[in-house]
Amino acid sequence: MTIQCKAAVLRTIGAPRPYAQSKPLSIEEVVLAPPRSGELLVRIAGAGLCHSDLSVVNGDRPRPVPLALGHEGSGEVVEVGAAIDDVRAGDHVVFQFSASCGRCRRCVEGRPQVCERAAVAKSRGELMAGGSRITSINGERIGHHSGLSCMSEYVVVDRGSVVVVDRSVPLADAALFGCAVMTGVGAVINTARIRPGDTVAIVGLGGVGLSGVLGARLAGAGTIIAIDREPAKLEVAASVGATHMVCARDADCVEQVRDLTGGGVDYAFDLAGSADSMALAYATVRYGGTVVVCGLPEAAATFSINQNDLVGQEKTIRGSYQGSCVPVRDIPRFIRLYQEGRLPVNRLIDGHIGFDQVNAGFDKLQDVKAIRQILTPHGG
Ligand SMILES: [Zn+2]
Ligand SMILES: [Zn+2]
């Protein structure tokens, strides 16, 4: 069916602060075309406000506008398009922000997070079958964010963008598993394959970074050093399992990490996504150590390394996208660990907000006054 519903549409990139006043996100009625073959209509339960959304809003990582925002979400399937026989109306789903086609070389290699077809569609603001399913009520095309656009009452998405989840999980809060948890926990468990006793530094303590701390604790890391510029975030990291806290504003912060670990950590994670945080992560690893880079910096950012240092110290640098997760395997297992109390990701949620608080919500995120606010488009 065709649906008319409310959505948060980004029309201005790089609007002045505060966003509560400039309102870069316009809360407006949009029209959704019916799902095509291989697509689903989903009623949104929750959509997280993530730093990657903020990077589009503030222009660090611009996308073509108008763009219906939102890449971390959950909901209930309302309608199933043709050629889908493994998802039904009423199923609860969490979105993966990078869809997988299941057929390209990367997908069949077991790396759906870097699906070739999804990457092309995503860059155009389209679904994999081509085109957008979202228009304004005047018929203007509006792009999909990450094949999703879940800051909306409803969305039409590819089958390869959803993972069916256990119905007993609070659905709005399950949104978090779609980005923060997959990226942060996945980086530690899948990309780095942390072993019990390993020493770890996590640079950048937003929703993804704190998920990384939770993941490191789950994996049995011996020393978990949380690093950030904001003392308030260091306190949160301590409360979710970091063993040591280092303020990135300290001139000797690298030395502090070296002193704590006898020369540097086995694995450092850049979860902040800037040249500075990357340099800091690189400096904290020991000889033979590994840097895992998961934060997405501004589009043109580059990072320089001393080549002698890389070779002579035999360091490794690895990228990690969507936590190197196979979402259909990892989202359900992370949810089970959450249900068992071993991955308390609910500690990262500040609260639920309505559409009227979305612009101000991004101010809070930019001002480090919130970790994860969840938009509940239908209230509750
Ligand atoms: Zn693929
Ligand atoms: Zn995100």
Residue range 169-178: mean pLDDT, rounded: 97
Q: What distance in angstroms lies between residue 202's CA and the mean position of ligand 2's atoms?
A: 17
Which ligand gives the minimal distance to the CA of 121?
1
Q: Got the DSSP string for 28-74? A: EEEEEPPP-TTEEEEEEEEEE--HHHHHHHTTSS---SSEE---SEE
Q: What distance in angstroms lies between residue 99's CA and the mean position of ligand 1's atoms?
A: 8
**How far apart are alpha carbons 289 and 199 in whole angstroms?**
10
Write out pLDDT tens, residues 229-249.
999 999 999 999 999 999 999
pLDDT category at 186 given cuts 50, 70, 90 is very high
Q: What distance in angstroms lies between residue 177's CA and the mean position of ligand 1's atoms?
A: 21
Residue range 309-325: mean pLDDT, rounded: 96
Which ligand gives the minimal distance to the CA of 128?
1
Write out pLDDT tens, residues 343-380.
999 999 999 999 999 999 999 999 989 999 999 999 96
Cβ-based neighbours of 50, under 8 Å, separated by 6 or more = 71, 72, 179, 180, 207, 208, 372
The torsion angle over the Cα atoms of residues 198, 199, 202 and 203, rounded to 10 degrees, is -140
pLDDT of residue 295: 87
Question: Model-level pTM?
Answer: 0.95
Which ligand gives the minimal distance to the CA of 181?
2
**How far apart are alpha carbons 253 and 248 in whole angstroms?**
6
Q: To the nearest whole percent, how much of the chain has pLDDT over 90? A: 95
SS3 state of residue 310: helix
Which ligand gives the minimal distance to the CA of 176?
2
In Å, what is the CA distance from 121 to each residue of 128, 169, 323? 5, 31, 20
